[in-house]
Amino acid sequence: MKLLAGFAFLLSVSVSLAEQASLASSPQQLSSLSFSEFTRFGHAAFPKYGVRIKQSSFCDEAVKAYTGYIDVEARHLFFYFFESRGDPLNDDVIFWTNGGPGGSSSMGLFMELGPCRISDANGTKVHADSWNSKANVFFVDQPIGVGFSYADYGKTVDTTEAAAKDIAAFITIFFEHFSQFKGRPFHMAAESYGGHYIPIFASEVYDQNKRLVEAGMAPINLKSIMIGNGNTDMSVKFPSYHDIACTTASLPPILDIKTCTRMKQTVRYMFIKDINSASYQIVISQVPRCQKWLKDACIDQLDALSCQAAYAFCDEELSNPILDSGINPYDISRQCGGEIMDALCYPVTKHIVDYLNRQDIRSLIGVDATFGNFTIVSLDVNEAFERRLDVFHPTQYYVSALLERGIKTLIYVGTYDAMCNHVANEQWPLLLEWTGQKEFAGTPLREWFVDGEKVGVTRSAKGLTYLTVDGAGHMVPFDKPVVALEMLRRWLSGKDF
């Protein structure tokens, strides 16, 4: 048997011939899976990895749905998979994950682009503009500790690079066992911190392909990445907060003049004298200081203590004024609905949590009986990634590397988002160093339309596309489902915007 050269988790002598035979006998058609219990399978080349999967019916009864776990020794990643409403035997496959870090992909499923939505306490309702209208779609709770994903005894993942290995292995195992999807065009998509996840995940899949071919296995047909309102390049993110909150970049300014002036003003000295001594107060220019400190401590060299201090400073001076304003930072056209740390400004998230904490639903989709309460966001995961300063790993370089290798990239942004806004998400692709930079940067923005109505602006060159969605916030498919689905249709079909 030819092994996968270069994998850290190569087949060990502990995998017997009998075990290899049992792995080879796994089902090759999803329709043969049970509704009542998991079917378990793995792959001889990935001895530490296994997958449990079953059929489920809890969303749109007209669509075949599957749920299960990616088992990585003592770690267990939960996923949902929905076949396409259109042509499941021929349509592309999309991998979706939410951001955070720490956000459950149940938000993407039940709020945004899944085949059903939860809008109140009455459970799921069919969503006509789901992305599985055009593709077969995965939703994965990752990394460990997010959503229904868990570890048996404290085994955690706290960097995107580590999480990428689990995702790449799972994708290979899935396509190897369910041959009906083998060779299909494959796209990796996410929003928010997904701007960090997806470039690294897709790069791991791409690099793994060479080893798969060497082992005589079919490579993953990776075609594109899609990033919505992404957190990709921190060097431009913080300065953009002033533009989105204090200028008319999206809407009229949402912060008071004093706060905006503090965020923007240039460095100067004011001498304040008193009776006993002369003293002076330094009024700091928050944007330049934030940019310089982040560059020195987090980008040019990653000095943990200094970088954490810089990160805290920029948060306090540039993002906290937006968070403290009462405006929904994910959609500045509206007020925050509830506490941001509780419902993320969207009360619907509580209905999703209540639904997924129902024992009948857990039993239906196969959640392990030992699992505790479901939460929409894991603060523990968020803090673990923050301690590792994962957000400052240079994700944009992965994007340029993927573009150089022919992997198309879509950057789409709702114009009403403040946290991962269109100002920053237009700037970093323009600054991106790759062979198509000059042509992309030299391409003017133009309007794009859906059903004759202008819905945003776009520019595209050499496989890289940037576009905005007018009137949408952080979660474009939630706010503008019809436009989001048409965007997806054009992207998958290769049609121009």
Active site residues: 192, 417, 474
- Taking the C-alpha atoms of residue 356 and residue 376, their distance in angstroms, rounded to an integer, is 10
- Taking the C-alpha atoms of residue 482 and residue 155, their distance in angstroms, rounded to an integer, is 41
- Taking the C-alpha atoms of residue 458 and residue 74, their distance in angstroms, rounded to an integer, is 45
Q: Which helix (H) or strand (E) covers residue 493, if one does?
A: helix 481-493
Query: What would you measure as the largest C-alpha separation in the chain, in angstroms?
Result: 90
Neighbour tally for 420: CB within 10 Å: 26
Q: Which residue from 45, 82, 47 is spatially nearest to 63, judged by alpha carbons?
A: 82
Record the tokens describing residue 95, joined without a space. 């991998």
- Taking the C-alpha atoms of residue 129 and residue 495, their distance in angstroms, rounded to an integer, is 19
Which DSSP symbol is given to 120? S
Angle between helices 395-404 and 194-214 (to 10 degrees): 50
Q: Computed over its alpha carbons, how large is the radius of gyration of the chain?
A: 23
Asked whether the beta carbons of 41 and 51 are under 8 A apart, the reply is yes
The alpha carbon torsion through 430, 261, 249, 196 (nearest 10 deg) reads 50
Pairing type for strands 453-461 and 446-450 reads antiparallel
Record the tokens describing residue 487, joined without a space. 């965007």
Q: Over the range 76-102, which residues count as b (16 or more CB within 10 Å of their CB) and which as e? A: bbbbbbbbbbeebeebbbbbbbbbbbb
Q: Which residues contact 47 (CB under 8 A, 6 or more apart)?
A: 9, 10, 11, 12, 14, 15
Asked whether the beta carbons of 404 and 435 are under 8 A apart, the reply is yes
